[in-house]
Structure 1
Amino acid sequence: MPLWHVYHPPGAYDPGHKQRLSADVTGFYTRVGLPKFYVIVLFHEVAADSFHVGGEPHGQAVRVVVEHIARHTQDPRHRRHTRETLAALLAPHTTERGLYCELHIDETPQDLWMIDGLTPPPPDSETERAWARDNRPTPY
């Protein structure tokens, strides 16, 4: 599961912006075969006086924290590619709109993850493809 936390100033994202950003994020992961329902994007509005960068309030900062659970990699080239691709995905929603943006990605152990009480199927398995096709978890 990719879980995205987007911390942003008030008014940075209206409902349409949120929908477009979450659709872009979801599209990235479904193109690599993850079920759509794995993707969760949470928007956290943070008042300018509560969002400090370098010890000072920053009313135009966005911080994106991504938790990758469904897929991990140790290959430095793949990790760099993922980071750069996600930064490019974010740019129209952040830096190209004049917002300062920081991004980091954590990898949560897969064996500590469940959906509806089910352990997700192995990556790229027939069951995972069925979950993606049906857009829901089912016992296996």
Structure 2
Amino acid sequence: MPLWHVYHPPRAYTPEQKQQLSTDITAFYTRFGLPKFYVMVLFHEIEPGSFHLGGEPSDSAVRIVVEHLARQTEDPELRRRTREALADLLAPHTTGRGLYCEFHIDETPQNLWMIDGLTPPPPGSEVEQLWARENRPSPY
């Protein structure tokens, strides 16, 4: 699963903008075959005066923490391409709107992850494809 934490100042995103960002994030992952329900985006509104950048309060900074659980890679080239693709995905929602943006990606080993008490199926397997089609986990 990709789990995204988007930390942002108040009123940085309307409900519609949050929906569009989460839709764009989901589309990014589903094009690689991940089930839609694997993608989770949490918006964390940070109170004024509680978001500091370089020791100073900021009302225009967004910090994003991405946790990858369904897929990991050690390949430096794939990591670079992923990082750049996510920067491109985020730009219209952040820097393109005048917001300062930082993000990083953590990778958790797949064997430390469960959904509804089930171990997720192997990447690209028939069961994972079934989960993607049905958009829900099921015993296998």
TM-score by length of 1: 0.99
Structure 1 equivalent of residue 11 of structure 2: 11
CA offsets 1:21-50 (integer angstroms, 9 cap, x no match):
000000000000000000000000002310
Distance apart, 1:109 and its partner CA: 1.3
Residue 63 of structure 1 aligns to a residue whose secondary structure is strand
Residues 83-122 of structure 1 deviation map (CA, whole Å, 9 limit, x = unaligned): 0000110000000000000010000111110000000000
Contact preservation (8 Å) 1:9, 1:47: yes
**Which aligned pairs between 1:89-104 and structure 2 lie closer than 5 A?**
89-104=89-104
Number of aligned residues: 140
Distance 1:19 1:85 in 2: 19
Provide the residue aligned with 1:83 in structure 2.
Answer: 83
Q: Counterparts of 1:109 and 1:130 in 2: how far apart (Å)?
A: 22
Cα distance in 1 for residues equivalent to 2:136 and 2:55: 44
Q: Which portions of structure 1, spanning 4 or more consecutive aligned residues, are displaced by more than 6 angstroms?
A: none
**What runs of 5+ residues in structure 1 fail to find an aligned partner?**
none
The answer to whether structure 1 residue 73 and structure 2 residue 77 are counterparts is no
Give aligned-pair identity as a percent. 74
RMSD: 0.5
The residue that corresponds to 1:28 in the other structure is 28
| Aligned-partner SS, 2:49 | helix
